[in-house]
Structure 1
Amino acid sequence: MPGRALVIVENLSVPFDRRVWQECQTLTGHGWEVEVICPLGTKRDTETEVVIDGVRIHRYPLEAATGGPQGYLKEYGTALRHTSRLLKRIQKRAPVDVVHLCNPPDLLFLAALRAKVGGARVVFDQHDLVPELYLSRFRSKRDSLYWAMRALEWATYRTADTVIATNESYRAVATGRGRVPVEDTFVVRSAPAVERFRRRAAEPALAHGREHLLCYLGVMGPQDGVDYAVRALADLAARRDDWHAVFMGTGDAFDDVVALSRSLGLDDRVTFTGRVSDEDVLRYLSTASVCLAPDPRNPLNDVSTMNKIMEYMAMARPVVSFDLVEARVSAGDAAVYARPNDVSEFASLVSDLLDDPERRAAMGEIGVERVSGPLSWANSEKELLAAYEWVARDRRARVRDV
């Protein structure tokens, strides 16, 4: 067996966090013994300790932040305390060889230091650029909190023996401002498990008696642009009435966007489902004519890979997106791109696709080819295993030197 890996994630429960769960399954499938520390879920992932498919998961109670940065400081402090407690207990049972940190936040390196002193290697799996996330959610200019987050990011880079980036843009940040040697970085793109995304027969009733269904799937935070999508749909409603839209997901902007939809007179045109089952996701996406990726251009979104786009493509759905650097890398010709943050052009592109079923079908096939080929998880897991082999080799060399 290659060794014992401890994966630490604060942002979502596991296995609900699909990227983390894919990584765990890849590692166990190649001989690693894997444990996970994460928060409890709300409607799922509610056991405090459980073994699933050979992965032992330790969960702790955590109340998600609301409001401004102060709420996040409280959330992250609680998460760090529980993570440190559980890591200490796991280490007492048997030392781990690799601690795999998944941000946000960039505080988790503090918990990993104990294991690192004991000889464990640290992998930093950078899911988000936290300083850019802060600017995108709370501030338009750099302030003292921004620079504090840059310092924590720097400390995490310095603690890590290897950095995993979700795309080349993130890797450039690690090797640029993070000063991480390029040989210590690996790109492990988030990719849907295509076997999960099997198209169903379309269900016209989901469109509420209209010809077309439009779909949004994902988190609804201030930086995710659901408000842009709602405003674009108000524009679209003035042009045509042959569509219904469904928004699947939740987040701390959920109530605000529901209120916005009502204020724009879209009650009978838009449905907000909240979080739905995987089966319902497949039903809605199988029926959709067009899928929406309304993430506005901001310091984070422009360089981030959007899971929603990858999942839309896995379901052979055409995508309308704002013109972002990494959106184009992901979707290529499987999407059309509006000028950043221009809701009128976004609505116009949706309308154009609704009038062109042949183009929609062609775009859908392009998307399937991309996520089944160059952007598939099969390619990502090769990079993940290469990163682990790199830190394992480094650890063995250090043991020999001692």
Structure 2
Amino acid sequence: MSSTRTGKSCVIVVENLPVPADRRVWQQALALRRAGLDVSVICPATPDHPALHEIRDGVEIHRHPLPLRARGRWGFLLEYSSALFHQFRLLFRIHRRRGVDVIQACNPPDLIFLAALPFLALGARFIFDQHDLCPELYEAKFGRRGLIYWLLRIAERLTYACAHEVITANDTFRDIALSRGGVAPERVTAVYSYPDRNFPSGGPAPRKRKKFVLGYLGVIGDQDGVDGLVRAVFHLVHVRHCRDFRALVIGDGPALASVRALAQAMNVEDMITFTGFLCGETLAAHLETFDIGLIPDPPNPCNDKMSMNKVFEYCALGIPVVAFPLTETRRLLGAAGVYALGANPGNLADAALALMRDEALRAERAEAARRRSLAFDWSREARKYVGVYGKCLGLPEAQAFEDRRAAPDVAMPDAPAP
């Protein structure tokens, strides 16, 4: 691989997860590094990633402390205010040392443009990487709209207005950027968060265990439905009288303590293992135990439009998936999924139980997941992503992406009918 450098400097700013734990951002950073850019990432520090400064794989990582992991509205105000201060401080440090040609803001929240504005005035270009729909995310968290919802709509619109280019996590978000954001079509590119080929996805081990493993991999926030996973386990144990399984929850987030407490209160803590954040060989070893992948994200206006990373990761593992019938999830997952027949955790539990009791169905959906994963090719998305930087910086196309390991295009089959 060529080590030719462009002499251009870019900074990716992400507030809700550190790298390399944020797989999307870390894959983007590595793609830009391969393309010859000097890459810095500004992100929060966490107990699993406490170093305030380090260099990994040629990417310079600047982490900053946060006063708390917010859950309530006032907590979010304190968290975001602190993050903006540190983002501006670190952007200034990077700019003073080597300059900044491009700033990429990864939401949530839609406030990072405030830290970037002084540098845009100095000539930096601004890319908005829309991971989430923040107004809908607020509505899902708090069950209402109100003043803050509309303030978030304003912040979203201002972020769109500041952006020279917009990257969205799926085509549904792209449509919203065009309609609600008023962004010109040629300035919006959908880049999906497919796993790269280094994702630890050796596939489930041959079944030698007495108990099924219902696995969850992802962030544990209020909107991610892990509390519903706990209630689904309760339904299996105390309503369906099934104990021939255990649930394995891999991940961390602001709601971890509360879902642990819920498991204890519902008397199912012996059925659920919470591992916290894992990586590398330890993560791979745990993933290989998954028999069924759970996507407990509940139906709401936000989740219905989200492209869940769990879809891509479970398919990469070659395991059948149980989920609620969310529009985007069904489109991506297709026949690899077994879908709950209702919107409550008991329905999710019943769908999982149907898979546990039907070996032929598990094998069929596992094969569908494996086929589905062939369409989830990060190298194609990486070329689109780095091409956006090429447009911003005026780089020749030949220099815009040097990793040519792409697999042939594979069309995704249509999702099954409801």
Residue 388 of structure 1 is matched in structure 2 by 389
2-side partners of 1:368 and 1:4: how far apart?
A: 38
SS at 1:194 equivalent: coil
Query: Residue 61 of structure 1: CA displacement?
Result: 1.5
Residue 128 of structure 2 is matched in structure 1 by 124
TM-score scaled by length of structure 2: 0.88
Task: Deviation per CA, 1:58-81: give whole Å up to 9, x if none.
Answer: 221123333411111111111111
Structure 2 segments unaligned to the other structure (5+ residues): 397-418
2-side partners of 1:141 and 1:201: how far apart?
A: 41
Cα 1:57–1:353 change in 2 (3 A) is: same
SS at 2:269 equivalent: coil
Cα 1:79–1:283 change in 2 (3 A) is: same
SS at 1:246 equivalent: strand
Match of residue 43, structure 2, among 29, 38, 61: 38
SS at 1:124 equivalent: strand
Residue 258 of structure 1 is matched in structure 2 by 260
1-side partners of 2:391 and 2:26: how far apart?
A: 21
Query: Could you tell me which amino acid in structure 2 is paired with residue 379 of structure 1?
Result: R
2-side partners of 1:330 and 1:182: how far apart?
A: 23
Contact 1:314 1:368 in 2 (8 A): yes
Query: Could you tell me which amino acid in structure 2 is paired with residue 290 of structure 1?
Result: I
Match of residue 202, structure 1, among 187, 201, 205: 205
Match of residue 178, structure 1, among 154, 176, 181: 181
Query: Residue 394 of structure 1: CA displacement?
Result: 9.9
Query: Residue 161 of structure 1: CA displacement?
Result: 0.5
Residue 347 of structure 1 is matched in structure 2 by 349
Does residue 1:153 correspond to 2:156, yes or no? yes
Give runs of aligned pairs for residues 6-85 of structure 1, distance below 5 A: 6-44=11-49, 46-85=50-89
SS at 2:275 equivalent: strand
2-side partners of 1:293 and 1:6: how far apart?
A: 32
SS at 1:216 equivalent: strand
2-side partners of 1:136 and 1:322: how far apart?
A: 15
Residue 245 of structure 2 is matched in structure 1 by 243
Contact 2:133 2:302 in 1 (8 A): yes
Query: Residue 33 of structure 1: CA displacement?
Result: 1.4
Report % sequence identity.
Answer: 40
Residue 273 of structure 1 is matched in structure 2 by 275
Residue 118 of structure 2 is matched in structure 1 by 114
SS at 2:180 equivalent: coil
Q: CA RMSD in A?
A: 2.1
SS at 2:61 equivalent: strand
Contact 1:28 1:54 in 2 (8 A): yes
1-side partners of 2:221 and 2:105: how far apart?
A: 23
Structure 1 segments unaligned to the other structure (5+ residues): 396-402
Contact 2:251 2:278 in 1 (8 A): yes
Residue 398 of structure 1 is matched in structure 2 by none
2-side partners of 1:242 and 1:92: how far apart?
A: 59
TM-score scaled by length of structure 1: 0.91
Task: Deviation per CA, 1:361-390: give whole Å up to 9, x if none.
Answer: 33223223323x322111211210221122
